[in-house]
Chain A
Amino acid sequence: MNPMKNPRIIGTIAVIILLGLTPLAFAQENYAMRVITVGMCAAIAVYGLNIILGFTGQLNLAQGGFFGIGAYGVGLLTTDYDWSFWAAFVVSVIGTAVIGYLCGLIALRTKDEYFAIFTMAIGFIIFLVISRWEPVTHAHSGVNNVKFPEGGGLIDFESPVAMFYLVFAILLICVYTTYAIRRSSVGRTLLTIRTSEDLADAIGVRVGFSKQLAFAASAVFGGVGGGLYATVVGFIGPDAASIDKTFEFLMFILVGGMGTVAGPLLGSMIVTFLFELFQDFQAYRFIVLGPIIVALVIFAPRGIVGYLGGFVDRRNRRRRAEEARGADDDLDSTGASTSGGTGDHRARNVADGIESGAGRTGGTPSSEETK
């Protein structure tokens, strides 16, 4: 089937186009542009969380920390050391990648609750370092006047619209990367780990190595989001690295849908909008948001895109399953590998990936060991 006829892809593209057109409506309102741009920075970090939590099924509670590393990397290098934004950005992202990879060396050996506790510790330590290491990070005074990206005389990034499109372009790369991963054997590898580590092991998946890479990738996305956040906002404080950030990211991904391509983007935008509504009582918003996240996990764990996509998938699958059984006779006679029809099945299957059941895991095959 033509991917352009897949409702999931059409939906994703529609959301992206809609987002890309927002400057037309808000170009004169700097505040609104900034809120949306900050929301997109968060969405980039959420795409990272999606790889490790949505695809691989491991709760990463350090994502706020990696966001903070990216933000502080750009913030400190462009101010105290007077680097250009681009150099600072690249170095910060490489830095988060290295730290993520090193943390992954231990994370790859842990699973489930141990993974979550380990990453919680990592996140907390990153926060402690940023909020306490006064001589380097300025602790609670934060970092002021983070540089704008240099436009090389072509683009003026001090304009909110230019900044919007910079972040938007990077966000698009993240969305596409997520899509590409999901439909490839890399994505399939991560999804097998989410469903059952033991079974993944049995079919020869390198569980630990894959987890480490997923974690490092997640950290990189966090660093990219954080680095952009620093330049968009211009001022950063330790709360850029706090567990509150991780919590916000969790909320974004839950609302949008874990393990989906469009979910993190949609969730980030919707929840950013909700946050704006609660703006006046910023400090107390978690009184409302805490119970909301609990309710979401209990009553709607698959998120908006998860449910819509699940509906589309179910319908498609039923049709295809019937077709497959109906066409069984001629398949047997021609052989699938040579029949012209299989190319068609192929495209559809790959595009849909092992998508269904996002956020759910199957039984584990550990009964084996009890014998």
Chain B
Amino acid sequence: MTMLEIRDLGKRFGGLDAVKDVNLDVEAGQITAVIGPNGAGKSTLFNLVHGFYRPTAGTISFKGEDITHSSPHRTVAGGIARTFQTTNLFDDSTLLENVLAGRIVRSKSNVFDAVFHTPRHRRESRINEDKAMEALESCGVAEYRHDLASNVPQEVQKRTAVAMALATEPELLLLDEPAGGIPEEETVDFGNLIRSLPQRGVSVLLVEHKMTMIMDLADTILVLDHGQKLALGAPAEIQTNPDVIRAYLGSTAQEEN
């Protein structure tokens, strides 16, 4: 089943095409990766899907529903969560509080529920706590739940960002360089976390620079260059695609081998 369908998507800033004529299908239960050199439009693509930016051309649909012009709130409520390239957490809060913030979008109780302490409010608080703990545990950071976000190591922060996104109960998770800044020896563990997501019913769309990790994880890879599609296919195809090697992989691939 196709989870996310991107058709002829375009975004112009001033006179420049940040993203142009991009087509992509993200299949349910798969890990789809977007790669490309800096400035290739990867983050813009994420911002378009998520609703931060409004596209200037094309359409995006999610589970058959048109979300081209949805606001971030609606996209997240609809089941698409994201993480940022730079770790983004509420620094002055504990990890648990951070992940609880991810539950806001699923909370229905309002001020009156809170003031009158209604059964709905109590039930919801309980569910939120449980779901938040569950997310923290599945990302392997439950033991730090009472530590301030600014006090834990980079890797724990990155995992918490994923947990916060998972707490919104997404069906599709957009990960923007989730392993950036994580020491090389820990990327394998982190890769395992990402690999476990489809089994939990969360499809993944991922931007990443660590090439070995991508080739290992992704089912499908989209290569962007100057905002446009350069290639699309399985990792093996991408690795042998002459255009890709010339434009992007060449140097990196040699380094990594």
Question: Do A and B have CB atoms closer than 8 angstroms in the complex?
Answer: yes
Q: For B124, give the chain A residue with the smallest CB separation.
A: A185
A196, A199, A206, A357: the one contacting B73 at CB < 8 Å is A206
**Given known A-B contacts A181-B114, A196-B88, A331-B143, A201 and B72 have beta carbons under 8 A apart:** yes
Tell whether, in the assembled complex, residue B128 and residue A204 are in contact, meaning their CB atoms are under 8 Å apart: no
- B16 close to chain A: CB less than 8 A: no
Alpha-carbon distance A183/B124, docked complex (angstroms): 13
Tell whether, in the assembled complex, residue B134 and residue A184 are in contact, meaning their CB atoms are under 8 Å apart: no
In the complex, which range does the number of interface residues on chain B fall in? 35 or more
Q: Distance (Å) between the CB of A365 and the closest chain B CB?
A: 4
**Given known A-B contacts A177-B115, A356-B92, A362-B92, A201 and B142 have beta carbons under 8 A apart:** no
Q: Distance (Å) between the CB of A206 and the closest chain B CB?
A: 5
- A363 close to chain B: CB less than 8 A: yes
**Digit string of B116-136 for contact with A (CB within 8 Å is 1, else 0)?**
010001001110111001100
Q: Distance (Å) between the CB of B76 and the closest chain A CB?
A: 3
Alpha-carbon distance A367/B147, docked complex (angstroms): 25
- B1 close to chain A: CB less than 8 A: no
Tell whether, in the assembled complex, residue B105 and residue A205 are in contact, meaning their CB atoms are under 8 Å apart: yes
Q: Distance (Å) between the CB of B131 and the closest chain A CB?
A: 8
**Given known A-B contacts A184-B113, A188-B101, A362-B91, A336 and B82 have beta carbons under 8 A apart:** no
Tell whether, in the assembled complex, residue B93 and residue A354 are in contact, meaning their CB atoms are under 8 Å apart: yes
A-B pair number, CB within 8 angstroms: 175
**Given known A-B contacts A367-B85, A368-B86, A371-B43, A324 and B101 have beta carbons under 8 A apart:** no
- Name which of A41-49, A234-242, A342-350 contacts chain B: A342-350
Residues of A within 8 A of B20 (CB): none
Alpha-carbon distance A32/B88, docked complex (angstroms): 51
Tell whether, in the assembled complex, residue A192 and residue B134 are in contact, meaning their CB atoms are under 8 Å apart: no
Alpha-carbon distance A204/B75, docked complex (angstroms): 7
- B236 close to chain A: CB less than 8 A: no
Residues of A within 8 A of B114 (CB): 180-181, 183-187
Alpha-carbon distance A336/B130, docked complex (angstroms): 7
Tell whether, in the assembled complex, residue A185 and residue B128 are in contact, meaning their CB atoms are under 8 Å apart: yes
Tell whether, in the assembled complex, residue B129 and residue A204 are in contact, meaning their CB atoms are under 8 Å apart: no
Residues of A within 8 A of B134 (CB): 336-337
**Digit string of B91-111 for contact with A (CB within 8 Å is 1, else 0)?**
111101100111111010111
Alpha-carbon distance A335/B130, docked complex (angstroms): 10
Tell whether, in the assembled complex, residue B85 and residue A336 are in contact, meaning their CB atoms are under 8 Å apart: no
- A60 close to chain B: CB less than 8 A: no
Alpha-carbon distance A367/B47, docked complex (angstroms): 13
Tell whether, in the assembled complex, residue A371 and residue B86 are in contact, meaning their CB atoms are under 8 Å apart: no
Residues of B within 8 A of A191 (CB): 90, 93, 101
Tell whether, in the assembled complex, residue B43 and residue A203 are in contact, meaning their CB atoms are under 8 Å apart: no
- B243 close to chain A: CB less than 8 A: no
A185, A317, A321, A365: the one contacting B107 at CB < 8 Å is A185
Tell whether, in the assembled complex, residue A365 and residue B84 are in contact, meaning their CB atoms are under 8 Å apart: yes
- A137 close to chain B: CB less than 8 A: no
Tell whether, in the assembled complex, residue B100 and residue A203 are in contact, meaning their CB atoms are under 8 Å apart: no
A187, A204, A328, A369: the one contacting B76 at CB < 8 Å is A204
Q: Distance (Å) between the CB of A299 and the closest chain B CB?
A: 19
Q: Which of A176, A184, A354 has the most CB of B within 10 A?
A: A184
Residues of B within 8 A of A204 (CB): 72-73, 75-77, 81, 104-105, 168
- A37 close to chain B: CB less than 8 A: no
- B248 close to chain A: CB less than 8 A: no
Residues of B within 8 A of A196 (CB): 88, 90
- A132 close to chain B: CB less than 8 A: no
Alpha-carbon distance A369/B85, docked complex (angstroms): 10
- Chain A residues proximal to chain B, CB less than 8 Å: 176-177, 180-181, 183-189, 191-192, 195-196, 198-207, 217, 317, 320-321, 323-325, 328, 331-332, 335-337, 342, 345-346, 349-350, 353-354, 356-357, 360, 362-363, 365, 367-369, 371
7 extra A-B contacts, CB within 8 A, seeds A195-B93, A205-B101? A204-B73, A204-B75, A323-B146, A324-B145, A336-B142, A345-B145, A365-B88
Pick the 8 closest A-B CB pairs, nearest first. Answer: A204-B76, A357-B92, A204-B105, A184-B114, A336-B133, A328-B143, A362-B91, A185-B107
- Chain B residues proximal to chain A, CB less than 8 Å: 38-39, 43-44, 47, 50, 52, 72-73, 75-77, 81-82, 84-86, 88-94, 96-97, 100-105, 107, 109-111, 113-115, 117, 121, 124-126, 128-130, 133-134, 137, 142-148, 164-165, 168, 176
Ordered by A's residue number, 27 sampled pairs between the chains whose C-beta atoms are within 8 Å are: A177-B111, A184-B109, A184-B114, A185-B114, A186-B109, A188-B100, A188-B101, A195-B91, A201-B52, A201-B73, A202-B50, A202-B76, A204-B81, A204-B104, A321-B146, A324-B144, A332-B142, A336-B130, A345-B96, A345-B129, A349-B97, A354-B92, A354-B93, A362-B92, A367-B85, A368-B47, A368-B84
